Structure 1
Amino acid sequence: MDFYFVKYRLKSRITAEEGIGFFFGKVNEPPEYDLLIVPSRYSNFLRLDLSDDYAAFIKGFNDLKSKLSSQIPESVDLSNEFLSYIKGYISRKGGQLFGAELSAAVKDSDVDLVQYIVSEILKEWAPKIEITVEFKQVSYQEISAENFMQLWQDFDSEGLVDVLKRPDIADLAEIFPLVDPIRGKVLAEFDVGDPIFFVILNVRNSENLEKLKLLYPKHFSQQGNVIPLPGILVGKELIRGKKEEYYLIKVDMGEGLLGRGLIPKSIKIMSEVQRFEEKITKSQQEWNDKLSQMVSEKPEQQNQNQSVKLAGIRSDMKSHGSDFLIAFLMTLMVLGIILIVSYFFTL
């Protein structure tokens, strides 16, 4: 567990207001938070699903925030007033203490305690507020995978497919950087020559793949890149999609081998070298332990697991007409994201 993520929905019959908000923070540190409040007559606008993962929920929340500001102006004042109150509450209590309390409750999966902590904040605002809470433990790799999935889902609507067919990048390895929503930096703050940390999703040139395996033997298994790598940012270019902006990046993975990535402009990327090195040391040992477990499995069980994965891939492939999207799905399923979600950065 690297982060705690608490989402809640509130309803006050006394003030005739309803809202939806969240707390998101690094373990034992003060949270980032936001909240949207509307008069109860507009409650049908608050259709976010509290069970959504981090990337989907935050995207939906930000879209809703923009919609409310343009269609229900009074919502902006109500939300800002409530946010000022929450800021004052956390300041009085102490941000570090508040973050530690939420971290402990989420880590222990204590539903009643999380509910109590959120209720304690809101009860001073208005009595008898009805609250629904959902929460989740989140790791770096889960956020990276979720953001990659969100990007993949938007490829057609954003008109991004042709970008990656450009001759100068068409044959480069596909990469995706590690996402760090709290301490990370957006790519606009990275300079050419800065270190960047990433996973390799697909290497199109078999010779280059073998070179990478020689450079980083502990970072690869038969399935692909299972432990993230450090590289150097050697190029970035702003790309405008139909709805959002993206950075097309080039990364030197070692000995002049280049990778490419198309990253949403707003995503924060891990930038702390020390944090990365600490995590890599831990994940290498975990991966070695997992390998020992896999070797000890019965062949029949391994074959059965592989058949299930391949069946899922074939099923998804039937629903997409674009060869490029099929390649992306194969990459996602086979060459790293699932392994990373399972084995990397877990606590």
Structure 2
Amino acid sequence: MNYDFYAIKIQAENRTSDDYFLGYFFGKVNSGLEYRFICFPKKYVDREKTPLEMPFAEYKDYLNELYLRISSRSLEIVEMTKEFNVYLGLQIRKMGGMGAQGFRFSKMAEEKNTELIRSELNDLFRNWTSDIILRFTLDFSSFSQIYEQASLSVDTKVMLSSFGADRKDILSISDFYPLLDPMAGVTIDQYEIGSVIWCTISRFSNQTEENRLKKEYPDFFDEAGGNIVPFEGTLVLKELTADGRGVLVKVMIADWFFAKSIILHNMRLLQNTQKLQNRFPKLQEQSFQIGLDNPQARPASKGTTNTAHLENKKPIFDLGTVFIIFAIIALAFLIYFFFFYS
């Protein structure tokens, strides 16, 4: 299965106490891990809801909404949730830390080994309660699905139409979606013109440009013509949408191809090129790899300054020469004072 992120959605209750838990572990393949749990008395459970059947993005929103609603009724829920999350953090630390926990969950999810996952979860809960009813489901998502889920709350076509029919520089070019990293990414607000945005082409607007790009980068597309390896796009335009909820972004790829996208302020864009190389080995063969290994061999892009000639310049004086000059000056002062005062 081709995926970039996994989620373990969890629903649990204590047989011998009033504790009820909802939460998740969310991780990137062979990388980081994050979690969130809420703990509350069973009387607040909506038995008609089946949250584990929800897509992860919806489940996450449901968790937030539920906590806000029930915590406003009782401070006990705030304390229960805080105490359990403190306990869980300590337990994860005892079991090797977040890195080790994320690696184990990643391997178990990859193998879809639900028995091992159940055993791991029981180990995490054991010192809180040994008598627990535990249910969980797995969710998998790719970079593109993460973007689609994050965009569900808005109509990007309406946002684009707000720029007017006269904006041919925008409306006539192809579309892309950015690669998101919900865990360690940064928002579009932190990007400046000239920054790199990793992107996948979702729609071509020009057949000639499509054919040319596919000819220049054949390994970036599958047999059906889908863009399966992300491109390194250079940010050339940022404009706020009319409602202020997002940013219209235009990127340049390969110094001639342009594409657009609507990026919401709460989206976190992927920046870590090492993770991209691990996920898409074909990227290692491209020019950006040359830039990583040998910056001087990479041609400067428009709007940037090539500093290779500065790096290669030798200093006029080395440390030894400077020391000798200072010694001569000091000796001259000593001779001067000796003859002047003697």
* TM-score (norm: length of structure 2): 0.70
Structure ranking higher in helix proportion:
1
Q: Is contact 2:150-2:267 (8 Å) kept? A: no
Paired residues of 2:175 and 2:203 also in contact (CA < 8 A):
yes
Q: Which runs of 4+ in 1 moved over 6 A?
A: none
Tell me: higher relative CO, structure 1 or 2? Use CA pairs within 8 A at least 6 residues apart: 1
Other-structure match for 2:159: 160
Residue among 116, 120, 143 paired with 2:119:
116
1:78 is displaced (CA, Å) by 2.1
Contact 2:176/2:201 (<8 A) preserved? yes
Give the secondary structure class of the aligned counterpart of 1:160: helix
CA deviation map 1:131-168 (0-9, x unaligned): 111124x35xx242243255256428x96363365543
Equivalent-residue separation in structure 1 for 2:259 and 2:171 (angstroms): 10
Alignment deviations for residues 29-74 of structure 1 (CA, whole Å, 9 cap, x no partner): 4520001222211111894622333333334333444444545554
Q: Does the 8 Å contact 1:23/1:33 carry over to 2?
A: yes
Equivalent position of 1:131 in the other structure: 134
**Equivalent residue number for residue 172 of structure 1:** 173
Q: Letter of the aligned partner of 2:11 in structure 1?
A: R
Q: Which residue of 2 aligns with 1:184?
A: 185
1:114 shift after superposition = 0.8
Does the 8 Å contact 2:21/2:37 carry over to 1? yes
Amino acid at match of 1:120: D
What CA distance in whole angstroms lies between the structure 2 residues aligned with 1:249 and 1:62? 30
Q: CA RMSD in A?
A: 3.2
- Tell me if 1:88 matches 2:90: yes
Q: Retained in 2: the 8 A contact 1:176–1:198?
A: yes
Q: Which consecutive residues of structure 2, in runs of 5 or more, have no partner in the other structure? A: 286-342
> Does the residue aligned with 1:185 lie in a helix, a strand or coil?
coil
- 1:297-330 per-residue CA deviation (whole Å, 9 max, x = no partner) reads xxxxxxxxxxxxxxxxxxxxxxxxxxxxxxxxxx
**Partner amino acid, structure 1, of 2:101:** F
Equivalent residue letter for 1:181? P
Q: How do 1:229-248 residues align onto structure 2 when only pairs under 5 Å count?
A: 229-239=231-241, 245-248=245-248
Percentage identity across paired residues of the two chains = 24
Q: Report 1:1-347 matches (<5 A).
A: 2-29=4-31, 31-44=33-46, 47=49, 49-70=51-72, 73-95=75-97, 96-136=99-139, 138=140, 142-149=142-149, 151-152=151-152, 154-155=154-155, 160=159, 162-163=161-162, 167-168=166-167, 169-220=170-221, 221=223, 223-239=225-241, 245-282=245-282
Q: CA deviation at 1:2?
A: 4.0
Alpha carbons 1:68, 1:76 under 8 Å: kept: no
Q: Distance in 1 between matches of 2:69 and 2:158?
A: 23
CA distance in 1, matches of 2:58, 2:272: 25
Rg (Cα) greater in structure: 2
Query: Cα gap change, 1:24/1:149 in structure 2, threshold over 3 Å: closer, same or farther?
Result: closer
Name whichever of 85-94 and 103-112 sits farther off: 103-112
Q: Is the 8 A contact 1:48 1:57 kept in 2?
A: no
The residue type equivalent to 2:234 in the other structure is I
Write the letter of the residue equivalent to 1:176: Y
Q: 1:281 to 1:57 in 2, by over 3 A?
A: same
State the alpha-carbon separation in 1 of the partners of residues 93 and 180 from structure 2: 28
Deviation of 1:247 after TM superposition, in Å, equals 2.7
SS of the aligned residue for 1:251 comes to strand
In 2, distance between residues paired with 1:228 and 1:132? 36
Instruction: Name the aligned partner's letter for residue 6 of structure 1.
Output: I
